[in-house]
Structure formats: structure tokens, C-alpha cells
């Protein structure tokens, strides 16, 4: 008998050799505090009641599991789309922010800080803060502020203060650094609301727990729609990896379910213009977590590239690194062009315009072979409204 | 490590100065080190620049960015300081973030430190437990002191744990802030210094973060074995470059009458 594998964090936040909390002493008390309370809070009846009620009536869950007829015909299999794009604010990000804001409230915190790249997590955070009447500060790279003006306006309208990160490459990783610096300077009243399964323990586990509702619902819904109680495949895109972590969560121990994560390879894995962290496979520490990341030979973290702003993070959540190492999940990558093609195909076959991030997951269909009796779940993490400028530019509409 | 322990045993009002290696110019490292020793600095913290220095304020961030642009790396730094012990007598401590050291290879890094005569290291994001379990023996066998940070939020219990495992000094971060943030020492900081002093620790303490001039240096020296000046000195380098005269003036001004 083989030993049962563990795909979850141990008490130190390690997933195999990945994870942990590589943080300066200034953050230690805050991280320790959060570590000691997050599980109890999440498991408490009070939290569960509030969280479930918000997911249902505010976010609009459960999100449908939609059988994509024409897409299924094309690939000769049974494709189901998990419609996170139909959530309030248009993506899966809100599952996490309403959860963390409740945790922050339980901890008596008054002020919320967050980092954002394209602005999706910033908007989801500002939304949850408006809902709960909490002060909200969002750090966003100066470069991203310029290219994501509508999301900046949304955050401001929601009452958030948006602060430009002007250091380094002035994008997501620098916004994350600024948020961590803010937390160092405001250790008492502030809660750092991280948007993905990255950062020091307990963030990767906490965010995965809050996104786990995605796979919890898939499990129920697939039973209702097929003659099996599990899907053969679950496919999701990964940047930091929160929608993938949530989509995989309740299937991790069910080896019948093949898990597929799709990274953004930008202009190509070896082009130097990529965000395919796993494909490049270099071990190191980023934002407090030991994981695969993109770095120079001297250990300087390099700037990733993808057409999709939500996937261009130079690291990946430590759980995903572990799923890769243990072969529990298969990691594929899709280029900008492959994602664009997949987005257009879904739009014209099913009448759904996907976010560019989610389009990377859809692009996996051309890279895999399925049986006609198999069921394939693809998480559609967000809708494409925010990407219309890119689509217009690339397709000439 | 002996040089460092000797200094900490023998001296009060220790003036420790931080600068980023490779800034403002790639090859300024030794010139600045020499000027600091001649100018009267007691201890030097040599910064290894990193792309994502999350505990640092704008001044040190900018110097790190410039240093990296100039081509600085750990390898390059070891090349620059390989003969430093032919002329430099004061203790030298390397300070930087964990990822570049991890990528360089920790064992190789420790070995190179020993070879060139580095006395200690400060790696703020190397967690205590990880150091204790994996690297403490390696560091101590190589005569390298690992220097830990404590902050106003650090519990007494944890301070004692850190003290028990410190071979050099304890870096007392003066307030909840990143480097280069504050100007004056406030009452609640003094309370915190007094709390730390009341613990009767074995390891001497140096106070850093927000120490920028004679007044803050003197206040810090009243509550610890000395103090660390970083951003204020890096600013001076930004303005005047590796200018021996300016560096000497700066140290004299900060130290004033305190010897």
C-alpha cells in the first residue's frame, strides 16, 4: 500500500518543500496572529453563516456549471464551464475578498490594504470594503494604473484610495512590495488582503480555503449532470493560482480526477517574454514563499510578461509548485495568440466572451485528447468586458 | 566574528554605517569602505542589492535599483572585497534578502564570507526557525554571526529566544517602519528600548531605522551599544558619490563628541 499523499499545507505552511513564511521580523507578529486564528474563524458557525449568505445573495452563488454543447461537439467530448464569470464583479476574486473581509472584521481590524495588477482583485477588495464599511487602500503599479484606467475609476468610485507603486518595474510585484511595506508600518490596525494563493503562510492556505467553494459546487453539480460523481478533468488557468486552487481543492485526494493547470507563456516559454513560471522551473523565495519563480542568475526577480494582466506574476502559489513536483497536476502553457484564438472561439461557439486569463484555460483544449464519454470541467474564472480594448486591438473589431 | 565580538565587548557608542554595494558606481565599494574606516565608523553593513527589498524605504530601494543596473551581484561583491582584510580592520557585515543568497547557494555563500573575512550577515527574511534548524551550525562553524532583528511588536519571549541564539549583536528596529522613515525618536520608542534593556540580554544591541543625525544617534546610544545609520548615508553618497572628505565629515558630525 502506498502512503497517502498530502496536498495541503502542514502546520508550518509547507507543501512538500514549498511554502513557509520567509518574512522579515517586522511582519512576524501579524503573520503569527493570523496563523493562529484563521482556521478557527473560518470553521466557526458565525463565519460560515455570514460567508455563505454573502456568497449566495451578494456574489450570486452557486455559479452555474454550464454544458457547452457546440464546444463539446467540436472537441468530441463533454465540456462543462464553471461560470465564475457570472459572479458579482465578474470574476472568482470576490469569493476570496468577502471571506477575508469577514476574517478581518472578526480580528477587529479597521483598515484593509491590498495589491492589484490589472485591478480585478483591487475592485473585488474595494467592493467588499464598501459592503462592510471598511477603510480600503489599494496598491497598484504606476504602469498598471495607466493601462487599467476603468478599474482604477471603479475602485475610486467604491471609496478606495489607490496608491501608485513607483518602485522597481512599477507593476504587480512592486505593488505587492508596497502593500507589505504598508503592513510593516501599520502593524496594529491593518489587515493585508492578499488576492491569490501566494505570500507567506497562512495566505496560500487561507485563500485556497476561501476559493474552495468552486470545487465544492462542481462536485455537486457534476453529479446532477452526468452519471458519475466526479469529472474526468478539471482545467484552470494559473498566475498566482487562486482560481485553480479553488477548482482543484475538493478533488486533490480523488486521483480519478485529472487536474490541469495552464500557465501564460506570453510570446513563448523561451522567448524571455513569458509568465510560465513552472515551465522555467527555478526555485526561490518571492513575497515570503518558497516556490518556483522567474529570476536572473543572480537571484533578482524578473518581470514576467503575458497579454493577460492577471497571469503575469513572476511566482506561483506554493501548493501548485507541490502539485507539479508530485505530478498530481499536469502543467501546460498557452501563448498570447493561443489564448486570443480560444477566446474568440468560445465567444462565437457559445456566446460567452471570456477574460483573457480564462482563455488560457480554454486554449488547453487544443493541446489535449479526450474520450467521447469523458467529462471536462473548465473554470471560466472571469468575463471579458475588462479585456475589450485588447480584443478590439488584436481582432480589429 | 572575533573582530565583531571584540568591538561589541570593548566599545560603547558604536557607529555602524550601512551602504548599498555597487552604488552610486559599481566599483565604489572598496573606496567607500576605506573612507568609512578612516572617517571613524566602527562597523560597516554592506548591502547586497535585491530587486524586491520589501523592508526598505525609497532611498535604499533606489540605491539597490541603481546598483543592480550598474551590474552588482553577490559574485561581483565577493570579487570586490576579496582582499579587503589587507587594509580594513573594522568588522564588516553583509546585509541582504534571502533569495539572492539562496540562489547563490548558502553553503558557498558562507564559505566565501569566511574566505574574505566577513564577520556576520543580516538576512531579514530568513526566518529564525529555518536558520536555527538548517543553517546555524553552518554559520557558526564558519565564524559568521547571524544578526536578528527585533521590533516594538516582538514579544519578550521571542526576544529571549533570539538572544540565546545570537553570536553578534541584536538589531533593534526602532519603530514599526521601513528604513529611512522617521526623523525623531519618540517617547514610545524610548519605552520600548527600556523594555528591551530590562530583559538583561547577553547580546549587545544596536538601534537602527530612523537614525539619521547626531541627535538621533546620541539618543540611540543612551539606550544601546550603538546605532546604525543607513538611508541618511546612502543619500549622502547619492549627492556626493564616494567622496572621502564628505564621508569623513558625515561620520564626525554624527558621532560628535561620542567616542
Give residue A1's pLDDT: 44
Is the pLDDT score of A4 beyond 70? no
Query: Among the options A35, A82, A93, A386, which is catalytic?
Result: A93
Arithmetic mean of pLDDT, A140-165? 94
The percent of residues above 90 in pLDDT, for chain A, comes to 93
Cβ–Cβ gap A301/B101 under 8 Å: no
Looking at the structure of chain B, the number of domains it has is 1
The percent of residues above 70 in pLDDT, for chain B, comes to 99
Contact indicator for A382, A85 with CB cutoff of 8 Å? yes
CATH number at residue B153: 3.20.20.70
pLDDT digits (tens, 9 = 90+) for B28-40: 999 999 999 999 9
Arithmetic mean of pLDDT, A51-62? 98
Query: Which among B65, B74, B176 has CB closest to A184?
Result: B176
Please tell me the distance from the alpha carbon of residue B18 to that of residue B34, in angstroms, as a whole number.
13
Cβ–Cβ gap B102/A167 under 8 Å: no
pLDDT, averaged across chain A: 96
pLDDT, averaged across chain B: 95
Query: Which among A29, A168, A301 has CB closest to B65?
Result: A168
Task: For residue A381, indicate whether it is catalytic.
Answer: yes
Residue to test with chain A: of B20, B54, B208, most A Cβ within 10 A: B54
Specify the pTM.
0.96
Walk across the sheet containing A289-293 and list its strands. Answer: A14-15, A18-19, A289-293, A282-286
Give residue A170's pLDDT: 87
A22: three-class secondary structure by DSSP: coil
Fold of the domain spanning A60-91+212-395: Rossmann fold (3.40.50)
Please tell me the distance from the alpha carbon of residue A12 to that of residue B99, in angstroms, as a whole number.
19
Among candidates B238, B102, B73, B227, which has minimal Cα distance to A292? B102
Nearest CA in chain A to B173: A26
Nearest CA in chain A to B127: A22
Kindly state whether A20 is in contact with chain B, defined as any CB-CB distance less than 8 angstroms.
yes
pLDDT digits (tens, 9 = 90+) for A359-371: 999 999 999 999 9
pLDDT digits (tens, 9 = 90+) for A183-225: 999 999 999 999 999 999 999 999 999 999 999 999 999 999 9
Between CA B255 and CA B259, with CA B257 as vertex, the angle to 5 degrees is 70
Give residue B177's pLDDT: 85
Between CA B131 and CA B17, with CA A179 as vertex, the angle to 5 degrees is 55
Is the pLDDT score of B247 beyond 80? yes
Contact indicator for A89, A118 with CB cutoff of 8 Å? no
* Chain B positions with Cβ closer than 8 Å to A: 50-55, 57-58, 61-62, 65, 68, 73-75, 98-104, 124-130, 148-151, 153-155, 158, 173, 176-178, 181
Contact indicator for A81, A66 with CB cutoff of 8 Å? yes
Return the active site residues of B: 45, 56
Residue A3's pLDDT band (cuts 50, 70, 90) = low
Residue to test with chain A: of B47, B51, B53, most A Cβ within 10 A: B51
Q: How far is B201 from chain A (nearest CA, A)?
A: 18
- Which residues on A lie below 8 Å from B182 (Cβ)? none
pLDDT digits (tens, 9 = 90+) for A279-323: 998 999 999 999 999 999 999 999 999 999 889 899 999 999 999
Q: How far is A173 from chain B (nearest CA, A)?
A: 8
pLDDT digits (tens, 9 = 90+) for A206-217: 999 999 999 999
Give the number of other CB atoms < 10 A from CB of residue A234.
30
Between CA A357 and CA A366, with CA A362 as vertex, the angle to 5 degrees is 135
A393, exposed or middle or buried, with CB in 10 Å at 0-12, 13-18, 19+? exposed
Kindly state whether A303 is in contact with chain B, defined as any CB-CB distance less than 8 angstroms.
no
pLDDT digits (tens, 9 = 90+) for A263-279: 999 999 999 999 999 99
Residue range of the domain that includes B28: 2-255
pLDDT digits (tens, 9 = 90+) for A283-292: 999 999 999 9
- Which residues on B lie below 8 Å from A25 (Cβ)? 124, 128, 148-151, 154, 173
Contact indicator for B146, B121 with CB cutoff of 8 Å? yes
Four-residue CA torsion sign, B239, B242, B243, B249: positive
Q: How far is A163 from chain B (nearest CA, A)?
A: 15
Among candidates B113, B114, B116, B68, which has minimal Cα distance to B95? B113
Backbone conformation region of residue A89, classed left if phi is above 0, alpha if psi is from -120 to 50, else beta: left
Question: Which class would CATH give A15-54+93-207?
Answer: alpha beta
pLDDT digits (tens, 9 = 90+) for B155-211: 999 999 999 999 999 999 998 888 887 667 888 999 999 999 999 999 999 999 999
Contact indicator for A306, A315 with CB cutoff of 8 Å? no
CA-only gyration radius of chain B, Å:
17
Amino acid at each position: 500500500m502506498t502512503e497517502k499523499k498530502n496536498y495541503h499545507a502542514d502546520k508550518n505552511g509547507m507543501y512538500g518543500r514549498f511554502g513557509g513564511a520567509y518574512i522579515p521580523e517586522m511582519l512576524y507578529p501579524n503573520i503569527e496572529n493570523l496563523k493562529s486564528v484563521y482556521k478557527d474563524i473560518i470553521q466557526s458557525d458565525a463565519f460560515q453563516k455570514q460567508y455563505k449568505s454573502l456568497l449566495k445573495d451578494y456574489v450570486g452563488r452557486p455559479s452555474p456549471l454550464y454544458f457547452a454543447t457546440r464546444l463539446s461537439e467540436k472537441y468530441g467530448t463533454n465540456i462543462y464551464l464553471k461560470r465564475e464569470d457570472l459572479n458579482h464583479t465578474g470574476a472568482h476574486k470576490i469569493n476570496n475578498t468577502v471571506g477575508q473581509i469577514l476574517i478581518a472584521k472578526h480580528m477587529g481590524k479597521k483598515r484593509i490594504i491590498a495589491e492589484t495588477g490589472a485591478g480585478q482583485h483591487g475592485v473585488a477588495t474595494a467592493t467588499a470594503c464598501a459592503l462592510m464599511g471598511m477603510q480600503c487602500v489599494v496598491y497598484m503599479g504606476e504602469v498598471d494604473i495607466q493601462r487599467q484606467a476603468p478599474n482604477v475609476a471603479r475602485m475610486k468610485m467604491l471609496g478606495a484610495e489607490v496608491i501608485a507603486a513607483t518602485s522597481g518595474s512599477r507593476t504587480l510585484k512592486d505593488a505587492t512590495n508596497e502593500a507589505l511595506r504598508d503592513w510593516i508600518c501599520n502593524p496594529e490596525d491593518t489587515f493585508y488582503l492578499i488576492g491569490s494563493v501566494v505570500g507567506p503562510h497562512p495566505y496560500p492556505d487561507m485563500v485556497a480555503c476561501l476559493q474552495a467553494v468552486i470545487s465544492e459546487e462542481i462536485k455537486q453539480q457534476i453529479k446532477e449532470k452526468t452519471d458519475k460523481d466526479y469529472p474526468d478533468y478539471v482545467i484552470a488557468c494559473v498566475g498566482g493560482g487562486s482560481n485553480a486552487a479553488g477548482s482543484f481543492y475538493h478533488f486533490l485526494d480523488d486521483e480519478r480526477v485529472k487536474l490541469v493547470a495552464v500557465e501564460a507563456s506570453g510570446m513563448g516559454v523561451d522567448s524571455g517574454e513569458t509568465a510560465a513560471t513552472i515551465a522555467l522551473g527555478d526555485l526561490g523565495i518571492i513575497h515570503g514563499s518558497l516556490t518556483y519563480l522567474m529570476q536572473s542568475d543572480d537571484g533578482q526577480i524578473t518581470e514576467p510578461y503575458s497579454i493577460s494582466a492577471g497571469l503575469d506574476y513572476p511566482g506561483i502559489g506554493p501548493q501548485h509548485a507541490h502539485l507539479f513536483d508530485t505530478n498530481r497536476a499536469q502543467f501546460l502553457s498557452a501563448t498570447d495568440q493561443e489564448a486570443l484564438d480560444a477566446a474568440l472561439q468560445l465567444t462565437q461557439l457559445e456566446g460567452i466572451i471570456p477574460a483573457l486569463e480564462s482563455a488560457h484555460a480554454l486554449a488547453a483544449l487544443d493541446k489535449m485528447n479526450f474520450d467521447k464519454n469523458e467529462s471536462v470541467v473548465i473554470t471560466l474564472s472571469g468575463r471579458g468586458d475588462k479585456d475589450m480594448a485588447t480584443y478590439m486591438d488584436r481582432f480589429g473589431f | 566574528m572575533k573582530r565583531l565580538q571584540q568591538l561589541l565587548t570593548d566599545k560603547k557608542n558604536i557607529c555602524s554605517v550601512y551602504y548599498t554595494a555597487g552604488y552610486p558606481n559599481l566599483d565604489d565599494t572598496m573606496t567607500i569602505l576605506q573612507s568609512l574606516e578612516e572617517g571613524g565608523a566602527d562597523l560597516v553593513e554592506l548591502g547586497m542589492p535585491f530587486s524586491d527589498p520589501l523592508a526598505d524605504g525609497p532611498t535604499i530601494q533606489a540605491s539597490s535599483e541603481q546598483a543592480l543596473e550598474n551590474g552588482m551581484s553577490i559574485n561581483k561583491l565577493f570579487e570586490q572585497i576579496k582582499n579587503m582584510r589587507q587594509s580594513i580592520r573594522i568588522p564588516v557585515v553583509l546585509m541582504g534578502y534571502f533569495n539572492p543568497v539562496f540562489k547563490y547557494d548558502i553553503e558557498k555563500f558562507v564559505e566565501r564570507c569566511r574566505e574574505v573575512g566577513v564577520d556576520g550577515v543580516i538576512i531579514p527574511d530568513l526566518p529564525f526557525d529555518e536558520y536555527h534548524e538548517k543553517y546555524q551550525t553552518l554559520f557558526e562553524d564558519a565564524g559568521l554571526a547571524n544578526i536578528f532583528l527585533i521590533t516594538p511588536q516582538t514579544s519578550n519571549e521571542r526576544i529571549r529566544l533570539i538572544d540565546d541564539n545570537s553570536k553578534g549583536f541584536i538589531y533593534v528596529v526602532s519603530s514599526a517602519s521601513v528604513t529611512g522613515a522617521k526623523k525623531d525618536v519618540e517617547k514610545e520608542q524610548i519605552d520600548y528600548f527600556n523594555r528591551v534593556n530590562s530583559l538583561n540580554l547577553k547580546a549587545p544591541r544596536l538601534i537602527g531605522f530612523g537614525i539619521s543625525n547626531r541627535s538621533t544617534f546620541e539618543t540611540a546610544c543612551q539606550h544601546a551599544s550603538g546605532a546604525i545609520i543607513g538611508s541618511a548615508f546612502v543619500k549622502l553618497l547619492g549627492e556626493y558619490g564616494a567622496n572621502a572628505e564628505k564621508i569623513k565629515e558625515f561620520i564626525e558630525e554624527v558621532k560628535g563628541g561620542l567616542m
